């Protein structure tokens, strides 16, 4: 199961790196100083303070997801906030992976674990390889509007992929399959069931992007 998750993470990460609009040269320059997530993890494990805060953060996240009472008290909540704030200042929070690196799958596993803990489980906000400034949901929502407008002098690859999806029955079918779980509110504070939404998105990436569709349009 770990192998399947790693492969899915690798495919998801490469897709987000290819499909999303990337930031300019300034973002690339800043990323040069980042540690890759494998090295950042090893560095954290060697430091007592970092490794302790990391374990505390993971316990807090696991407890929060299972509604465990041990993390709901004022003292426990304070410790959780302290651990999360500390990890946000560590090199792990800013680590990235390199395409084709020796331990790429392990690097991606570390990245998604840290990202989920610190950024609220929003798997599509950033690429583990490079920063991005556009969400897939925004692209698909804007595609029908953009499709009716004259083409600009500088083609937007993301919008081209979204427009092509509107013309592809297979793509539209699987896109519809994730719209419902990702937009159905489950409570006053939760806009959707995140587990079901992420599962549907991964199925979309696997069944549409990798097999039938988008990379041919880029």
Is residue 146 one of the residues assigned to a domain? no
Beta bridge partners of 96: 36
Residue 78 domain flag: yes
Domain housing 66: 37-119
Q: Say if 180 falls within a structural domain.
A: yes
Total structural domains within the chain: 2
pLDDT digits (tens, 9 = 90+) for 20-74: 333 333 444 344 457 888 999 999 999 999 989 888 888 887 766 555 555 556 6
Boundary residue ending a domain (119, 138, 165): 119
Indicate the pTM of the whole model: 0.45
pLDDT digits (tens, 9 = 90+) for 85-112: 888 888 888 888 887 888 888 888 888 8
The contacts found for 45-51 with CB under 8 angstroms, 24 or more apart, are: 49/86, 50/86, 50/87, 50/90, 50/92
pLDDT digits (tens, 9 = 90+) for 126-163: 567 744 444 454 445 545 544 555 544 455 666 667 77
Q: Which of 99, 119, 139 is where one domain is finished?
A: 119
- Is the residue at 62 inside a domain? yes
Domain-embedded: residue 125: no
- Among 72, 101, 119, residue at a domain's last position: 119
Position 2 in a domain: no
**How big is the chain, counted in residues?**
218
Backbone angles phi, psi at 132, to 5 degrees: -130, 165
Residue 175 lies in a domain: yes
């Amino acid at each position: 199961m770990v192998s399947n998750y790693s492969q899915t993470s690798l495919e998801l990460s490469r897709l987000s790196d290819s499909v999303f609009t990337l930031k300019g040269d300034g973002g690339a320059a800043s990323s040069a100083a980042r540690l890759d997530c494998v090295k950042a993890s090893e560095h954290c494990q060697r430091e007592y303070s970092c490794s302790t805060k990391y374990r505390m953060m993971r316990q807090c996240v696991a407890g929060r997801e299972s509604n465990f009472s041990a993390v709901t008290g004022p003292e426990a909540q304070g410790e959780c906030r302290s651990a999360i704030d500390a990890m946000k200042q560590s090199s792990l929070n800013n680590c990235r992976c390199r395409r084709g690196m020796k331990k790429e799958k392990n690097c991606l596993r570390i990245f998604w674990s840290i990202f989920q803990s610190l950024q609220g489980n929003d798997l599509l906000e950033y690429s583990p390889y490079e920063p991005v400034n556009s969400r897939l949901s925004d692209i698909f929502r804007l595609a029908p509007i953009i499709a009716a407008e004259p083409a600009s002098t500088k083609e937007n690859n993301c919008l081209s992929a979204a427009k092509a999806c509107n013309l592809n029955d297979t793509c539209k079918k699987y896109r519809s399959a994730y719209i419902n779980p990702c937009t159905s509110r489950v409570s006053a504070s939760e806009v959707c069931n995140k587990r079901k939404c992420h599962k549907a998105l991964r199925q979309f990436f696997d069944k549409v992007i990798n097999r039938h569709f988008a990379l041919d349009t880029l």
